[in-house]
Chain A
């Protein structure tokens, strides 16, 4: 019985992301505004990347392009060598807003992607229940979203994406609306799940500690126009724990990133 779960966990050579010369501009009051200008990066399968930057620098926009929600004005996104032009289940998305379907129970929400793909019922329930147990939602499987706390809803959203075993998991400030305590729990939970699955993760945040705690690399973004300003390797040992936040290495990285962000934030305020 467990073989199915194991199998879906194993098949992990996917999740290679290439972003080439990506530019995005929006029309605003008849003028086109450059939101992103020639963004370039490559992400290896299984890497955990954080996009970090001040508000409005285009973090969500990058994620939306990779998801296929919006089309770039120029440049390309490839996931596993395939050109991205529309959304699909191999790029899971976790939104900042609570986004479970209100008319489906927790179980049905998580099951939805598998059902669409026509996975047989027995397989579905095995996978869904495995993930529900994994994030402690099994006893809430028959609850509707409005009966769940914010943290529970985000946990459900995460496994709703993961159950489809996507190549990449895109997360847009998924914990921003949670209180500090819950946020820490969620970060640790995410890391344990990720260390099993080794899905490529692109995680947007503007919280430096969150980025350092979670990621292998941080892409620090600059504003006007939005671009990747610096790529920082986070060399902290894994598995990481909350007390690691006090290590000298962490503190020096924190200071380094803080200075970078501060520059950009000042710049964005001047321009506005």
Chain B
């Protein structure tokens, strides 16, 4: 249809009018379609907003009625109280807390990424190294961050380094395990491709094994980033005078309940945001995969 209209365009001025009309029709029908799409989208947005309103409404109601049947809402701050606490926090000096937490998480995460990826590659690629260090790591892996608190206090010279250690623990194992998996799942076919192009160990490793493991490593990094934030509260119980986790715990200790929920939400938000950032960044490192997503 488009080729025939192009041809007639050359043929006569009348045809030009025709094609213009055809274009108008096309545009119209496109607008029709997009209009109905728009409607669908609106309905979806409406339902989602409603779900939020219901969520906060029910929560508020439960608090107002001091609901107490098995679960006790008497001391749970209501959404309005949380909002007030948030306003207070934001108008106070929020940056020093957010900054303190972010630095801890970023330091722990960065160390975990460097160690996790390099150890993971070594363990995945060299059987002997796996034999030497895999079992001890497996033994440490299931230990939750909370259980590390006493040792973290005993082992580290400053409370700051102890806290960074705990956020490190959260990120390290997911990154390590996904890296090992990624390296181990290298495609035999691609190894053979490298071999009969004359690649020796180094090129096979650099150009085939590592890029092949990158998608796995990336998902390990995203999960690790989330986990680092999980461990933050635990870490900031340890010590500290600033930090989002610190506010959360401190508010509980001083029976000032609304900031607890605010702190929880803030941690969730920052965790989600930084995991998203890691996801985008790793996608940038793998242009061959981004384009795949677009075309699909």
Contacts and interface: CB of A to CB of B under 8 A. Distances in A.
B193 interface: yes
Contacts of A147: 291, 295
A113 B197 contact: yes
Contacts of B195: 68-69, 86-88
Interface in A57-91: 67-69, 86-89, 91
Contact of B196 (A87, A97, A102, A146): A87
B13 interface: no
B211 A93 contact: no
Given A101-B211, A102-B288, A103-B288, A112 B197 contact: yes
Interface in B188-211: 189-190, 192-193, 195-200, 203, 207-208, 211
B7 interface: no
Nearest to B204: A116
Contacts of B197: 89, 112-113, 116, 160-161, 164
A144 B212 CA distance: 15
Contacts of B198: 88-89, 113, 116-117, 164
A87 B288 contact: no
Contacts of B199: 112, 116
Contacts of A117: 198
A66 to B, nearest CB: 10
Nearest to A157: B193
B189 A146 contact: no
A93 B196 contact: yes
A93 B197 CA distance: 8
A128 to B, nearest CB: 13
B292 A146 contact: yes
Nearest to A105: B288
B207 A112 contact: yes
A233 to B, nearest CB: 29
A170 B195 CA distance: 14
The dominant DSSP class at the A interface is loop
Interface residues of A, number: 28
A69 B207 contact: no
Contacts of B24: none
B192 A69 contact: yes
Interface in A139-169: 144-147, 160-161, 164
Nearest to B290: A144
Contacts of A138: none
A146 B288 contact: yes
Nearest to A113: B197
A102 B189 CA distance: 12
A102 B190 CA distance: 10
Contacts of A164: 197-198
B286 A103 contact: yes
A160 B198 CA distance: 12
A99 B211 contact: no
A147 B295 CA distance: 9
Interface string A89-131: 1011101010101111000000011001100000000000000
Nearest to A108: B207
B192 to A, nearest CB: 6
A68 B203 CA distance: 18
Interface string B273-296: 000000000000011100110010
B204 to A, nearest CB: 10
A97 B288 CA distance: 19
Interface in B167-203: 189-190, 192-193, 195-200, 203
B190 A92 contact: no
Contact of A99 (B193, B212, B286): B193
Nearest to A144: B288
A148 to B, nearest CB: 12
Interface of A: 67-69, 86-89, 91-93, 95, 97, 99, 101-104, 112-113, 116-117, 144-147, 160-161, 164
9 contacts: A69-B192, A88-B198, A89-B196, A95-B193, A101-B211, A112-B207, A116-B203, A146-B288, A160-B197
Q: Which 3 A-B pairs have the closest CB atoms?
A: A89-B198, A87-B195, A113-B197
